[in-house]
Structure 1
Amino acid sequence: MDRFVEYIRENWVDLLSLTYDHIVMVVMGVVLALIVGIPLGVVCSLNRRWAALILGIANVVQVIPSLALLVMLMIVFGLGSQTVIVGLFLYSLLPIIRNTYVGLTEINSSITEAGKGVGMSPLQVLMKVQLPLSLPFIMTGVRVAAVIAIGVAAVAPFIGGDGLGREIYAGINYRNDLRIYGGAIPAALLAILADIFLGKLQKRVKLDK
């Protein structure tokens, strides 16, 4: 334990930089998934056939092992963090699409009809009634997506990416358990903190409703 504390003390600047890179990749991947996933979730709620197709494709992407998916993306996009972000985006899609879809379909139809009754257009009903009511479900999807993305980002160095995975990968190569712990423990803490923070944000959204 003392050796690990000493290692952190000596290398905290590098570890902080790697943690920052890790967070940036995760945030960018999840934000892109939100931009694409929410509209796809809306499409799913409007058309059950499209829902089966979209969710089916997202499920297929989700079951591909993370390293295999990143290697396939590397062939197309090349080495680097940008390829990792694309991979995180793809892995984050399913929970966001699925939870948006579930949130929209769980809304009582009488609420939607009330919105139409006061003269709202379908777009206004969606933006001012349905999506706000679905926000707790969407937040659940973001929460799941963020935790998944933090874990997947740990394999980024295998395709030239940055982040805490570099420390883990270096530790494996040099058989240095301190370096492995130096990358794995902060990554695990990131996942825990993201889950706690987004969980509290989700509760806040529910209370506001």
Structure 2
Amino acid sequence: MTVLVDAWSWLTTGANWSGESGVWHRLAEHLYVSGAALLLACAVALPLGLWLGHLGKGGTVAVNVSNAGRAIPVFAVLALFMLSPLRNAGDVPAVIALVLFAIPPLLTHAYVGVREVDRAVVEAARGMGMSGGQLFRGVELPLARPMLMAGLRSAAVQVVATATIAAMVGQGGLGRIITAGFNTYNTPQVVAGALLVALLALLVEALLVAADRLLGRGGRLKG
């Protein structure tokens, strides 16, 4: 309990929130890297997963290949990037590593979400004369939404949590608070940094759950 009390004391000290090493600056770095990585991963994985799910061909291979990539530790990817010319490219190494980490859950959920749409509904839509594009937009995509959102939540929480590792190779983010605590043997600061990351991940999860419910409610009202 003493460590938690000291961590709370660290969090409620105004000086720890200001400046380039303060919480606000590190939080902004963390959000920027996480957000950029998630947006890029969505831009790559979602169209591919949805397209493969719609076609019903090649998806299993793509999903297996992407999932195999999850076996590669993010820290190892970051370390390799820091030994390459990308080491002088700012946040680029961290963003690329997180994109590679976020693609598998997004791709898998997008593909599975479309493939699990009731085939009877799909055939009925085809029987009504719907084209492939109309079928995708009007039937498959709306029915796949819960699975898509589940993949997005999983990827977002993983990215926010894993972005902390970037601090171990000199990148920014909330992880720098934790590493600074380790370097100065300041256990309350380490705990405070870990709590900040955990709270941010929970907040992201809660926001995406709320967005999913709003989308679902909007779909029901529209229908």
- Secondary structure of 1:93 counterpart: helix
* Deviation, structure 1 residue 177: 1.2
Q: Which amino acid aligns with 1:183?
A: G
Which residue pairs with 2:63 in the alignment? 55
Which residue pairs with 2:7 in the alignment? 4
Which residue pairs with 1:32 in the alignment? 40
* Deviation, structure 1 residue 29: 1.0
Are 1:148 and 2:148 counterparts?
A: no
- Secondary structure of 1:107 counterpart: coil
Unaligned runs of 5+ in 2: none
- Secondary structure of 2:142 counterpart: helix
Equivalent position to 2:87, from 78, 88, 91:
78
Equivalent position to 2:73, from 62, 65, 80:
65
* Deviation, structure 1 residue 54: 1.2
Measure, in 1, the Cα distance between the counterparts of 2:135 and 2:185.
Answer: 58
Which residue pairs with 1:23 in the alignment? 31
- Secondary structure of 1:175 counterpart: coil
Given that residues 67 and 155 in structure 1 are in contact (C-alpha distance below 8 angstroms), is that contact kept between their aligned partners in structure 2?
yes
Q: Which amino acid aligns with 2:16?
A: N
Are 1:95 and 2:121 counterparts?
A: no
Equivalent position to 1:198, from 208, 212, 223:
208
Unaligned runs of 5+ in 1: none
* Deviation, structure 1 residue 102: 1.2
Are 1:135 and 2:145 counterparts?
A: yes
Structure 1 pair 99–141 and aligned structure 2 pair: CA distance change class (3 A): same
Given that residues 74 and 98 in structure 2 are in contact (C-alpha distance below 8 angstroms), is that contact kept between their aligned partners in structure 1?
no
Deviates more, 1:56-65 or 1:112-121: 112-121
1:15-72 Cα offsets, whole Å, 9 max, x none, are 0111121112111111111111112212432244x22321122112212122112223
- Identity of counterpart residues, as a percentage? 30
Deviates more, 1:37-46 or 1:14-23: 37-46
Q: Which amino acid aligns with 2:136?
A: L
Q: Is the helix fraction higher in 1 or 2?
A: 1
- Secondary structure of 1:161 counterpart: coil
Given that residues 81 and 160 in structure 1 are in contact (C-alpha distance below 8 angstroms), is that contact kept between their aligned partners in structure 2?
no
Q: TM-score, length-normalised on structure 1?
A: 0.89
